[in-house]
Amino acid sequence: MSLQDAVVVVAGAGGGAGAAVVHRLSAAGAIVVMADRGLESTEALTAEIATAGGQAHPYAVDLLDDAATTAWADSIASKFGRVDGLVHLVGGYRGGTPIKEADLADWDFLSGLLVRTVQHTSRAFYDALRASPFGRFVLVSAAEASHPTAKNASYAAAKAAAEAWTLALADSFNGSSAGATIVIVKALLTPAMRAAKPEGKFTGYTEVADLAAAIAELWDQSAAEVNGVRLWLAE
């Protein structure tokens, strides 16, 4: 298997890990479709990929809108003729407050951002991924989904729900050439974070370049090897 000419959608491409993932996939020969709430978040990245000779196509999509996500997915499948991967990088955080005092509005926010977008994108691209000879769905999750803390209950619960959905997706892929994988980190370290604090130790953090490498390698393995796997990059 190879990423050469594979069509890979990156949801949340404008986020902290987006640039590293898009660059890695593009460097391996993939045609990358980038989704974020606005085009301004991926404008510079689009130019960088073009300068490097790659293909990255930016789209502004509200992934909280089921109908809009489905219509967009259909247009992508029609335009490119196939979809071979969906990397879900959509993230967000609210927490730091004990359960008793926590505002449950945080749950509403996080369940939408971290769970609903996974549901919408996985359903919208489901048929295309399953039809691909090497379709991959990748969810980037957090260690707290398995090890929730008292001050991050809503965040941990939302991450755990997204993982459960992805494992159910993996179950539905059994017997096909598609695979759904969860990649787990404690926290991500971006070049900007490193530059802002060069003396920082960032113990347990995962470099976004390492995350990107781990994601790209999923296309080097068979569906049976990656489907339903929880790949821990967290220490």
Query: What tens digit of pLDDT does each residue of 155-208 get?
Result: 999 999 999 999 999 999 999 999 999 999 999 999 999 999 999 999 999 999
Instruction: Give the span between the Cα atoms of 149 and 233, in whole angstroms.
Output: 19
Q: Give residue 235's pLDDT.
A: 63
CA distance to 2, 186, 187, 202, per residue, from 206 (Å): 25, 7, 6, 9
Judging by beta carbons within 10 Å of its beta carbon (0-12, 13-18, 19+), is residue 176 exposed, middle or buried?
A: middle
Residues of the chain with pLDDT under 50: none
Nearest to 76 by CA among 125, 28, 114: 125
Q: Give residue 81's pLDDT.
A: 97
3-state secondary structure of 98: coil
Instruction: Give the span between the Cα atoms of 213 and 21, in whole angstroms.
Output: 8
pTM: 0.96
- Determine phi and psi for 25, rounding to 5 degrees: -65, -45
Instruction: Give the span between the Cα atoms of 211 and 130, in whole angstroms.
Output: 24
Q: What is the DSSP letter of 119?
A: H
Q: Give every CB contact of residue 57 below 8 A, 6+ residues apart in sequence.
A: 31, 32, 33, 34, 46
Q: Give residue 149's pLDDT.
A: 94
Question: Which domains are assigned to the chain?
Answer: 7-232 (3.40.50.720)
3-state secondary structure of 3: coil
Q: Give residue 234's pLDDT.
A: 73
Nearest to 137 by CA among 107, 159, 167, 101: 167
Q: Give residue 2's pLDDT.
A: 81
| CB 154, CB 106: distance < 8 Å | yes
Instruction: Give the span between the Cα atoms of 55 and 68, in whole angstroms.
Output: 24
Q: Which two structure tokens, joined as six digits, stand for 204?
A: 């347990």
